[in-house]
Amino acid sequence: MELPKAYEAIQLEVERRLHLYLHCDSKDIKRIAIVGANTADEIERLAASYPLATYDCFEPSPRFIPELRRKWQADSKVTIHEVALARTKGKARFYELSMPGNGSLLAPNIDRWSTFNQWQDKSLEFFEVETRPMDDFYQTSALDLLWIDVQGAELEVLSGGVETLKKTKAVFMEVTLVPGPYQGGALFAELNAFITRHGFTCCGIGIDPWNYTGMGLWIREIEAKTCQTKG
């Protein structure tokens, strides 16, 4: 039997078994934020595991917003925010590469990006987008899961959401162990240090052996959950 790739395996854990890490029932997962949603394909898989969850989708790219709207605008459980989450409110340049899901607020090194992803099309476009801090959206509500896929700009998102993190149970985000192709992108060590200071512990990581990037899962206050039963 062929095993899934490590970064796919940790994503499967989140999509199917997050409630076990949180020591709760799957129906207790009520609110999920997806930052860098693209077309939010993961909602279909998450919804199969967490039937009562609602979703906040943050996507600034005009390339993908029309499809995101087409798929989810009529779904009462999905709210679409056409902004990039960042440290501050304002305007910023958003870079969009040819491979879907590779847009970022951070400027890419095109040649390094091409090598990292084994992708030959080096075309690039950019747009001016609105930026907002995450705390603007979660002044009173809590998150069961914060899912971040923003190509190196993860620390931008987290820095604008310090108050939100206090009310968040789990964070799943892209990581890299080596300098990536996006200028100023945070390494795993920086992200882990930041989020650990806010009460989270890394409970899983899956890395692509080609470029040493992948995905990681952090759970808040695991000491209080250790060996507890659900409920």
In-domain check, residue 1: no
Domain total of the chain: 1
d(CA 194, CA 210): 26
Q: What is the pTM of this model?
A: 0.95
Q: What is the CATH number of the domain that holds 180?
A: 3.40.50.150
Range of the domain at 176: 6-221
Would the pLDDT of 226 be above 90?
Answer: no
Residue 226 within a domain? no
The whole-angstrom distance between residue 230's C-alpha and the CA centroid of its chain comes to 26
Averaged pLDDT, 135-143: 94
Q: How far apart are CA 91 and CA 93, in angstroms?
A: 7
What confidence tens digit (pLDDT) does each residue in 97-136 have?
Answer: 999 999 999 999 999 999 989 999 999 999 999 999 999 9
